[in-house]
Amino acid sequence: MADTPSSMQLFLEKLGLQGPGVDIRNFAVMETLRITVNIYPMVFVFQQDEKLLMEMNAAFAELFEMSYSPGILDIKKAFESNPGILSLLLGTLSEKKEYISHFHYFERIDRLVYMLIDAQMIKKDELHIGTVFIFREISNLIQLETDLLRIDRLSTIGKMAAGIAHEIRNPMTSIRGFLQMLSRDLIGNNWGKQKAYTDLALQEIDRVNELLNQLLLLAKPVEFVLKDVDINEMVKDVGKLHESDAIIHQIHVKYRLASVPRVKMDENMFKQVLTNLIRNAIEAMEDSGELKLSTHYEADKDKVVVEVADTGPGIPSYLNDRIFDAFFTTKEHGTGLGLAICQRIVHEFGGHIRMTSKGYGTTFAILLPPSAWE
């Protein structure tokens, strides 16, 4: 057995790493360690003379958005702004705990960061000298799971809503027709008061119809008319439509449009998305603020990005997952359908929506796959 070289040995031989004087196994172990230490965020936590200390690697600093400095640090100072992780690390150390894949999350300025943590004690001559923690960030997985759940919820609600909306729309159309006839007959016969009532009823019916249309938009598989469109033109068009509304609320509208590839999509649908986001932004700011509409191309993801940013009160992170739910609203007269519709439409074009809110101010980014450069 020992005489037959393994494929690993042959491979290393080719690389010139096999032969007298080179201990392949040690080499492989050292290399594995080097690679692991470079990839996984790690921190070694230990106590010395009553002081609680730590040494981290660069990947750890990146995960926790700290500036990386090699060497020993005071752990309490390093984690002043993240007491959750501090108490987890210190608790594990003092209680001599060990675990694999412990789930933990914390709130970074722009988003929640989810991770799995392994903790192992390091012992020297049976003495516990400290604990090493290894982290794996799983935010992407969690995001995927919540997206899938949302899509599932949306399709159930959507199917129900479509059925109901469809049934209500037909009788609504006849009621509207009769009221219009009545309203016409009431003109000129001294029935002024009655005419005003029918007109009010008509307005209310129009509101219901608008709601039904939105529900159908959310639920029904709409027929899209796909075209190669210039995103900047659309942002300008829809932005203009809302400028007067913005002015009334003393909101300044700013455009930052970069040159971006064209995108294949349905113009009307996309205008609906922009309209919903802009309306939300204006509603969030109430009186005074800045609405920024911008576009850019994100080369590493190969996505055209359209951003609608406001200086409103922001969205607390515990609502992050709920705002896209159909019927979720915090407004007295809201329908809670705006963002659900946006998401549905954007998904239809192979894109997605990203929301960031940093204490105050909110940015909705629509990421779309480009069709081609002009």
Ligand X SMILES: Nc1ncnc2c1ncn2[C@@H]1O[C@H](COP(=O)(O)OP(=O)(O)O)[C@@H](O)[C@H]1O
Which pairs with CB-CB distance under 8 Å and at least 24 residues apart come from 242-250? 242/275, 242/278, 242/279, 242/282, 242/291, 245/282, 246/282, 246/291, 249/282, 249/285, 249/286, 249/287, 249/288, 249/289, 250/287, 250/288, 250/289
Nearer to ligand X, 314 or 370 (CB): 314
CB of 338 to Mg ion, least distance (A): 3
Q: How far is the C-alpha of 321 from the C-alpha of 284, rounded, in Å?
A: 18
Closest CB 363 distance from Mg ion, rounded Å: 16
CB-nearer residue toward ligand X: 184 or 331: 331
Out of 131, 183, 280, 363, the residue judged to bind Mg ion by CB under 5 A: 280
Q: In what order do the strands lie in the sheet with 51-56?
A: 73-74, 51-56, 42-48, 127-137, 112-124, 99-107
Least Cβ distance, residue 326 to ligand X (angstroms): 8
Q: What does 329 interact with, of ligand X, Mg ion, none (CB < 5 to 8 A by kind)?
A: ligand X
Q: Select from Mg ion, ligand X, none the partner in contact with residue 315, using the beta carbon and a kind-dependent cut-off of 5 to 8 Å.
A: ligand X
Tell me which of Mg ion, ligand X, none is bound by residue 214, counting a contact when its beta carbon lies within the kind-specific cut-off of 5 to 8 angstroms. none
Q: Do residues 263 and 327 touch, judged by C-beta distance below 8 A?
A: no
- Cβ proximity of 356 and 232 under 8 Å: no
Which partner in ligand X, Mg ion, none is near 70 (CB below 5 to 8 A by kind)? Answer: none
Residue 260, number of CB atoms within 10 A of its CB = 21
Is residue 69 a contact partner of residue 155, using CB atoms and an 8 Å limit?
A: no
Closest to ligand X by CB, 59 vs 342, is 342
CA distance 368 to 262: 10
H-helix or E-strand containing 236?
helix 231-248
Q: Which does 325 bind (CB under 5 to 8 A by kind): Mg ion, ligand X, none?
A: none
> Which does residue 328 bind out of Mg ion, ligand X, none, counting CB within 5 to 8 angstroms by kind?
ligand X
- Closer CB to ligand X, 113 or 339, in the complex: 339
**DSSP code for 224:** P
Nearest Cα to 308, choosing from 321, 332, 291, 322? 291
Least distance from C-beta 328 to ligand X, angstroms?
Answer: 6
Helix (H) or strand (E) holding 168: helix 139-186
Whose CB is nearest to ligand X?
338
Size of the site for Mg ion (CB under 5 A): 2
In whole angstroms, what is the distance from residue 310 CA to residue 277 CA?
Answer: 10
Q: Does 312 sit near Mg ion (CB under 5 A)?
A: no
Nearest CB to ligand X, comparing residues 57 and 362: 362
Residue 263 to residues 226, 348, 352, 367, Cα–Cα distance (Å): 9, 13, 14, 11
CB of 276 to ligand X, least distance (A): 6
Nearer of residues 42 and 337 to ligand X, judged by Cβ:
337
Answer with the entry of ligand X, Mg ion, none that 312 interacts with (C-beta below 5 to 8 A by kind): ligand X
Interacting partner of 130 out of Mg ion, ligand X, none (Cβ under 5 to 8 A depending on kind) = none
Binding stretches for ligand X (CB under 6 A)? 276, 280-281, 284, 310, 312, 315, 323, 328-331, 334-340, 362
Nearer Cβ to ligand X, position 284 or 366?
A: 284
CB of 284 to ligand X, least distance (A): 3
In the complex, least distance from residue 168 CB atom to ligand X, rounded to whole angstroms: 19
Q: Which of 158, 289, 338, 361 binds Mg ion (CB under 5 A)?
A: 338
Partner from Mg ion, ligand X, none binding residue 362, C-beta < 5-8 Å depending on class: ligand X
| Residue (280 or 362) nearer to Mg ion, CB | 280
Q: In the bound complex, what is the minimum distance in angstroms from residue 277's beta carbon to Mg ion? A: 8
- From CA 338, how far away is CA 315, in angstroms rounded? 15
Enter the tokens of residue 302. Answer: 């190969």
C-alpha 152: how far from chain center:
17
Tokens of 281: 């932004």
CB of 143 to ligand X, least distance (A): 18
Where on the chain is the footprint of Mg ion (CB under 5 A)? 280, 338
